[in-house]
Amino acid sequence: MYEALALPETGAVWEQLHDWVERHSGIVLTAARSESFRIRVEAICQNERATPQQMLQRLERGDARVAMMVADAATTNYTQLFREREAFQLLAEQIYPTLDPGPVRMWSAATSTGEEAYSLAIHAAYNLGPGTFARVKVLGTDLSARHIEAAETALYETGRMPDLTPAERLAFEPVSESHWRVRPAYRDMCTFRRLNLLAPHWPFTQAFHVIFCRNVLYYFDATSRHRVLEAMYDVAAPGAWLITSFTDPTTDSPTRWSTVQPGVFRRRPT
pLDDT at position 123 is 96
pLDDT at position 83 is 85
Q: Domain check: are 203 and 110 in the same one?
A: yes
Residues 135, 105: Cα–Cα separation, whole Å: 8
Which residue, 74, 108, 128, sits at the end of a domain?
Answer: 74
Instruction: For residue 61, give the amino acid letter.
Output: R
**For residue 4, is it within any domain?**
no
> What range does the domain containing 140 cover?
85-266
Strand duo 208-213 + 190-194: pairing: unpaired
**For residue 3, is it within any domain?**
no
Residues 22, 106: Cα–Cα separation, whole Å: 28
Q: Domain check: are 111 and 244 in the same one?
A: yes
Instruction: For residue 154, give the amino acid letter.
Output: A
pLDDT at position 1 is 45
Total number of domains in the chain: 2
pLDDT at position 187 is 97
Which residue, 54, 74, 94, sits at the end of a domain?
Answer: 74
Q: Domain check: are 102 and 212 in the same one?
A: yes
Q: Domain check: are 48 and 157 in the same one?
A: no
Q: Which of 73, 64, 78, 62 is nearest to 21 (CA)?
A: 73
Q: What is the CATH number of the domain that holds 211?
A: 3.40.50.150
Q: Domain check: are 107 and 50 in the same one?
A: no
**For residue 193, is it within any domain?**
yes
DSSP labels, 30-68: -HHHHHHHHHHHHHHHHHHT--HHHHHHHHHTT-HHHHH
The model's pLDDT over 4-21, given as tens digits with 9 standing for 90+, comes to 555 665 678 888 887 877
Cβ atoms of 227 and 197 within 8 Å: the answer is: no
Radius of gyration of the chain (CA): 20
| Helix, strand, coil % over all residues of the chain, rounded to 5 | 45, 20, 35
Q: Domain check: are 233 and 139 in the same one?
A: yes
Sign of CA dihedral 59, 23, 21, 197: negative
**For residue 5, is it within any domain?**
no
Name residues of the chain where pLDDT drops below 70: 1-10, 24-27, 30, 32-33, 64, 68, 75-78, 160, 162, 246-252
- The maximal CA–CA distance of the chain, rounded, in angstroms, is 63
3-state secondary structure of 166: helix
Q: Domain check: are 49 and 89 in the same one?
A: no
Residues 78, 76: Cα–Cα separation, whole Å: 6
pLDDT at position 206 is 96
What is the side-by-side strand order in the sheet with 208-213?
190-194, 136-142, 104-108, 208-213, 236-244, 264-266, 258-261
Q: Domain check: are 101 and 188 in the same one?
A: yes
Q: Domain check: are 195 and 251 in the same one?
A: yes
pLDDT at position 153 is 97
Q: Domain check: are 36 and 97 in the same one?
A: no
pLDDT at position 67 is 72
Q: Domain check: are 121 and 188 in the same one?
A: yes
Burial of 118 (0-12, 13-18, 19+ CB in 10 A): buried
